[in-house]
Amino acid sequence: MDPMIPAHVPDEPPLTYADSFDIPVLFRNGPADKPKRQWRTAEHKAWTGSDGFPAADGWYAPTTTWREIIKAATEVGRDVTPHLQNQPQYAHGELVARVAPLYAYLGAHPVEPRHPVPGAKGRRLTLNPVYAHGTERTAKNAAAYRLGMTMTEWACRSLLGLGQTEHLELGGPIPALSETFKDPKTKLPDLWGRHETEEMYWLIEAKGGAVGVGALRKGWAQLEAGSKILGSYAHRTVLVGASVRPGDDLFLTIDHDLHPGLPPLPPAGSDPDDEAGPGNLEDRLGDSDDALIGAARAQMLAYLALRSAPSSQLRTVPVPADRTSRHRRSGLTTPLEDDTLTLAMRADARGVAPHVEQHTLRAGIRSMGLDDFLTCRIPGTEVHLGMSRKLFAACERLHEEDLAIARRTPGLRAEDQLADDSGLSEEAQEEQRLTRRRIFREQQEEARPRLRPLLRAAYERGATSDWSDLLRRPEEPMLDLQGDEGLLEAATPETYLAVSRYDVPPIHA
């Protein structure tokens, strides 16, 4: 029999970190009104993890990290990378736009719910005094949009195991129905995704801010319009309301409805036998070419930011080369400050470093079972993004193909644009830009069969490439074995994200 813990060891809860929060979530089958402060008074169930919707509707209190929320913020929304083919440095600006409203307006406060949930952190997100007392309505509306999209992405992917989301404006999941989805007169939901475990499409609408009854009803009408188009294909409609008011907790309502029907179709141009797998695409990169294409597309904004960063701002950080240590357990990211494998291997590498020449150190840590991910801080934020050399090489190949598409497709090249479109209304200009993005996306999908072996070869080649070769620069970026105690790090199988522990939402916001 195992001995008891000695009596002198204090009976204290496990160590917690400053960026952990509880997010009240109410699941409801079908459309409903906004609950009246039940996020404080209702009896919440503990969240045990899921690859789909929980068995029973009701209130839950999952715990997440600021890192997980920031990852959702950087990856959700309209794909702007077609516009950045020749100016990749502007990827930094787009990333700032996605995370800055969250840092600017969110804070945290301690909460003692009427019915405590075991394991809860006792902290919830809220609006900070800047938002409550000094922000004008237009800025609040913009922040509400970003909050709604971010928390919707977090809920669907980190909690519920959905695969990569895509903006519905580019035509939806069924090519034969794309023209109907593109109808500018039809008010449709924001996003769609394919849930592999449920084996169906999801249509998703995001609402954020002071989400009232009117916003929820409008969102459900948008979902019903999308559902009519999908028709006989099995799908789930999902309405996420990320609601928060000054002094209140941020909470989510997730209204959902199930529509049985035909199974989902494989992506256009893909191999029917090549399954992408559930949840995080990165868990299947070794055996799925379509997952590799999807993961590279999802990380193109981060790739462009790394590609264009000055050498002085780049560094590489050691993480275990064994990807299975970071496969999805709860959420998409694995915090590294309490990952014993990472901590032990980094300590071993630091012990060897003083006795090894710098030019051989990188190869030495790889022989120890460590990989080094390229990372940089996004200027204007305290967010650090990075990725593995294998994924970087795949993104580089994809970027080359996308650039070729832009150069050979009429209407996408700068020289094909009107010198002066000031006579067009803002709505007409937006429709024109949307048309160009759709053309670009169609060209990308047509190239998929040809891309599969090209990206696979690049991905495999990246494993043995030096960073100097991948970056096409004479020097290797600095290998950081000492680390930064001011950073809270996290990783997925192929990506890296860190935030400053001093800039996470402060308590008593």
Residue 421: pLDDT above 70? no
Are 63 and 48 within 8 A, CB to CB?
no
Average pLDDT for 332-356: 89
Nearest partner of 120 among 26, 47, 35, 42, judged by Cα: 47
Give Cα 279 distance to the centre of its chain: 12
pLDDT at 410: 67
Identify which of 110, 139, 140 has the alpha carbon closest to the alpha carbon of residue 126: 110
- Higher pLDDT: 81 or 149? It is 149
334-342 average pLDDT score: 91
Q: What is the mean pLDDT of residues 7-33?
A: 77
Residue 41 has pLDDT above 60, yes or no: yes
Say whether pLDDT at 50 is over 80. no
Q: What is the mean pLDDT of residues 76-81?
A: 87
Highest mean pLDDT among 163-172, 224-233, 325-334 belongs to 224-233
Give every strand in the sheet of 25-29, ordered side by side. 58-60, 25-29, 251-259, 235-243, 200-209, 191-195, 166-167
Question: Which comes out higher in pLDDT, residue 328 or 400?
Answer: 400
Question: Angle at which helices 340-352 and 358-367 pack, to 10 degrees?
Answer: 140
User: What integer pLDDT is reported at residue 187 of this predicted model?
Assistant: 85
CB 483 within 8 A of CB 317: yes
pLDDT, mean of residues 420-444 = 76
Distance (Å, rounded) from C-alpha 462 to C-alpha 479?
Answer: 18
Mean pLDDT throughout 344-352? Answer: 90
3-state secondary structure 123-161: EEEEECHHHHHHCCHHHHHHHHHHHHHHHHHHHHHHHCC
Judging by DSSP bridges, how do beta strands 166-167 and 191-195 pair with one another? antiparallel
Position 282 scores a pLDDT of 87
DSSP lists the bridge partners of residue 60 as: 25, 45
Q: What is the average pLDDT across 54-62?
A: 94
Helix (H) or strand (E) holding 207, with range, is strand 200-209
| Least reliable range by pLDDT among 318-327, 434-443, 458-467 | 434-443
Radius of gyration from C-alpha coordinates of the chain: 23
- Give the per-residue pLDDT at 429: 76
From the list 378, 331, 408, the residue with the least C-alpha distance to 499 is 378
Q: What is the mean pLDDT of residues 458-475?
A: 94
Q: Is the pLDDT of residue 226 over 60?
A: yes
pLDDT at site 205: 97
Give me the mean pLDDT over the 165-183 stretch. 82
Closest to 373 in 3D by CA, of 439, 428, 302: 302
Residue 442 sits at φ, ψ, to 5 deg, of -60, -40
Reported as a pLDDT band with limits 50, 70 and 90, residue 60 is: very high
Question: What pLDDT, on a 0 to 100 scale, did the predictor assign at position 415?
Answer: 52
The maximal CA–CA distance of the chain, rounded, in angstroms, is 82
Q: Please state which of the ranges 62-66, 180-184, 399-403 shows the lowest mean pLDDT.
A: 180-184
- Under the banding of pLDDT at 50, 70 and 90, the label for residue 2 is very low
Exposed/middle/buried for 113, CB within 10 Å: 0-12, 13-18, 19+? buried
Q: Which of 160, 164, 155, 405 is nearest to 277 (CA)?
A: 164
Q: How confident is the model at residue 82 (pLDDT cuts 50, 70, 90)?
A: confident
| Residue 379 buriedness (CB in 10 A; 0-12 / 13-18 / 19+) | middle
- At 13, the pLDDT band (50, 70, 90 cuts) reads low
pLDDT exceeds 60 at position 419? no
pLDDT of 508 higher than 80: no
Residue 251 to residues 21, 48, 136, Cα–Cα distance (Å): 11, 18, 23
Of 355 and 9, the structure prediction assigns the larger pLDDT to 355
Q: Which is higher by pLDDT, 187 or 26?
A: 26
Is 60 exceeded by the pLDDT of residue 484?
yes
Cα distance from N-terminal residue to C-terminal residue, the chain: 48
Tell me: pLDDT of 509 over 80: no
Task: Average the pLDDT over 406-434 and give the result.
Answer: 67
pLDDT at 265: 85
pLDDT of residue 278: 46
- 272-294 pLDDT, tens digit per residue, is 555 544 457 888 888 889 999 99
Q: Which one, of 390, 345, 386, lies nearest residue 487 by Cα?
A: 386
Most confident range, picked from 117-131, 269-283, 406-420: 117-131
Concatenate the DSSP letters of all residues of 252-292 into one string. EEEEEEEE--BPPPPPTT--TT----SS-GGGGTTT-HHHH
Q: For the ranges 39-43, 336-340, 417-421, which has the lowest average pLDDT?
A: 417-421
Record the pTM: 0.91
Query: 3-state SS string over 162-192?
Result: CCCCEEHHHCCCCHHHHHHHCCCCCCCCCEE
Counting residues of the chain whose pLDDT is more than 90, the rounded percentage is 57
Q: Does position 102 have pLDDT exceeding 50, yes or no? A: yes
pLDDT at 443: 86
Residue 189 near residue 223 (C-beta atoms within 8 A): yes
pLDDT (0 to 100) of residue 16: 55
Q: Once rounded to an integer, what is the mean pLDDT over residues 129-140?
A: 88
CA distances from 60 to 199, 441, 446 (A): 24, 38, 43
Q: How far apart are CA 192 and CA 201, in angstroms?
A: 7
Predicted confidence (pLDDT) at residue 143 exceeds the cutoff of 70? yes
